[in-house]
Amino acid sequence: MATHQQVTHRYVIIGAGPGGLQLSYFLQRAGADYLTLERETTPGCFFRHYPRHRRLISLNKIHTYEDDPEIKLRWDWNSLLSDSPELLFPRYTDDYFPAADVMPRYLADFRREHGLSVRFATAVDRIEKVAGEFHVRAGDLHVRAECLIMATGWGGPHVPRIDGIELAVGYESMPVDGAVYNGQRVLVIGKGNSAFETAHQLLDHAAMVHLASPHPIRLAWNTKHPGDVRGQYGALLDSYQFKTLHSMLDCEIERIWREGDVFKVLITYTHADGEQELLEYDSVLRCTGFRMNTAVFAANCRPDLVKNGKLPAVREDWQSTNVDGLYFAGTLMQARDFKRASSAFIDGFRYNLRTLARLLRERYDNAPLAYDVVPADPDLLTEVALNRLNGSSALWTQFEYLCDVFVLDTDGDRVLHYQDLPEDYAVARFGEQPHYYTANLRWGRDDYSDVFAIERHPVPDRAAESAFIHPVIRRYRHREVAAERHLLEDLLARWRRPERHVRPLEEFFRAQLARP
């Protein structure tokens, strides 16, 4: 008879990719009772297979003019946060776009050097919730936990509902040798980075490459979102505009079928008054992203999903909207800043997880959320806010999402300063307060016809028209924005000039502190 091992921990993390390891680090550093379960024998196995063409799009900028390690993290998109300067990703490779094979080695070293409590070769079979407690079953192991954090990353491909989609070869299994497609007409379904990564490898081989999806391409240099199509794939866009048989099709794919050796594809153009066309291809490749797998959850604790079933629906604190005590880590945290900040990527979610660890400790270990106290003086508040805005990498990479919060105490003489909270969480938490501020970084969001030829107006009174990343300080009265101050953009992101930054912010705080 098999022996069943039963263990109990306050926190159980499922998955030892970058998200699971980062949260494990913060919980371990806090002395929390946690266990991390990983189905594979080593960390970060996702990166042993993806991206398929083995080059990351996350930057690894080694050479900067900055000496401050915190600021250097703004351009190091792969390192996990820790107190060890040796465990930084730039020490593992000089490549600006690193090889994917470096990541598992880095993560294995991170786990080993910090002695993180990870149980490998432990695949979770079933998750149930009984009397308010999670029961996690993995083979002969039965783990009970107050709090469950899913850091499993993507569970499988997202397959769109298209008649005949089963005829397409998925990104997860397609041949990656471009010579396989020599002289072929190839349809790539999708226009995200996996689609462009795939199509880029076909330029030397295929006779014709079409990328198809209902929506236009979202270019990262327009949206400022690193998950949109990146500039290194510009050769494909050139080829499209130069009419070299490669094309970007905004269309609905109505049906795919096979006649002999040819795939027939019926499409309806999105921007052409319903025009339809029948096209022929030699290969059809599906590059439509991934989705979360919820199969291990019992019905009483299965999380709700959003974004066409791809992502878990989460509250402001990254907790499931429908399952109390179920949280998400890593790329699964991104629903609340979807296609806006960087929660889908290491450089964003590493900061989310630092904050999540504090929120979990507050709830489950009675450890109050830390804050600093600043006198309610406009000059001092300006100094503290500008120091954070100029020096923080969390506010930089999680622009328009994470913020610092300054809450005027009831006596009116001091301000409580909290760091790195999601702004929507801050409003939910402090919404009963009549007087508090958020400080974060934002981009201009006007519809510029040419993002490389933007007319600027570099005077403080027009700072709200800044097109590039710049500070924004908001005064809230309960849950409503009562006032807002933008500070002018700066080429080197140094917001300390007396006339452009310091004095306008001092005046803003002085005026607002005088108001109820």
Average pLDDT over residues 111-122: 98
Q: Residue 145 — very low, low, confident or very high, per pLDDT cuts 50/70/90?
A: very high
pLDDT surpasses 50 at 314: yes
The token pair that represents 400 in the structure block: 């328009």
- Could you give the CA distance from residue 509 to residue 278 in angstroms, rounded to a whole number? 62
Q: Render pLDDT for 2-12 as a digit per residue (tens, 0 to 9).
A: 567 999 999 99
- Could you give the CA distance from residue 104 to residue 493 in angstroms, rounded to a whole number? 33
Q: Render pLDDT for 14-37 as a digit per residue (tens, 0 to 9).
A: 999 999 999 999 999 999 999 999
Q: In the chain, which residues fall in CATH 3.50.50.60? A: 5-156+291-365, 159-288
> DSSP 3-state assignment of 262?
strand
pLDDT in the model for residue 3: 61
Tell me whether residue 460 is exposed, middle or buried, using C-beta atoms within 10 angstroms of its C-beta: 0 to 12, 13 to 18, 19 or more.
Answer: middle
Above pLDDT 90, what percent of the chain? 93
| Sign of the torsion formed by the C-alpha atoms of 137, 141, 145 and 150 | negative
- Give the count of alpha carbons within 13 A of 60, CB side only: 21
User: What's the pTM value of the predicted model, to 2 decimals?
Assistant: 0.96
Average pLDDT over residues 172-199: 96
Q: Render pLDDT for 94-109 as a digit per residue (tens, 0 to 9).
A: 999 999 999 999 999 9
Residue 29, number of CB atoms within 10 A of its CB = 12
Q: Residue 448 — very low, low, confident or very high, per pLDDT cuts 50/70/90?
A: confident
Within 139-275, strands assigned E span: 141-150, 156-157, 169-170, 185-189, 208-213, 247-259, 262-269
The token pair that represents 423 in the structure block: 């702004």
Q: Residue 413 — very low, low, confident or very high, per pLDDT cuts 50/70/90?
A: very high
DSSP3 helix / strand / coil % (the chain, rounded to 5): 30, 30, 45
Choose the weakest-confidence range: 168-172, 209-213, 411-415.
411-415
The CATH code belonging to domain 5-156+291-365 is 3.50.50.60
Q: Residue 449 — very low, low, confident or very high, per pLDDT cuts 50/70/90?
A: confident
Tell me whether residue 371 is exposed, middle or buried, using C-beta atoms within 10 angstroms of its C-beta: 0 to 12, 13 to 18, 19 or more.
Answer: middle
Average pLDDT over residues 169-178: 96
pLDDT surpasses 50 at 321: yes
Distances from the Cα of 279 to the Cαs of 76, 212, 286, in angstroms? 43, 12, 16
Q: Are strands 276-281 and 262-269 parallel, antiparallel or unpaired?
A: antiparallel
Residue 409, number of CB atoms within 10 A of its CB = 13
State in words which class domain 159-288 has. alpha beta
pLDDT surpasses 60 at 366: yes
pLDDT surpasses 50 at 1: no
- Could you give the CA distance from residue 218 to residue 6 in angstroms, rounded to a whole number? 49
- Could you give the CA distance from residue 196 to residue 233 in angstroms, rounded to a whole number? 7
pLDDT surpasses 90 at 188: yes
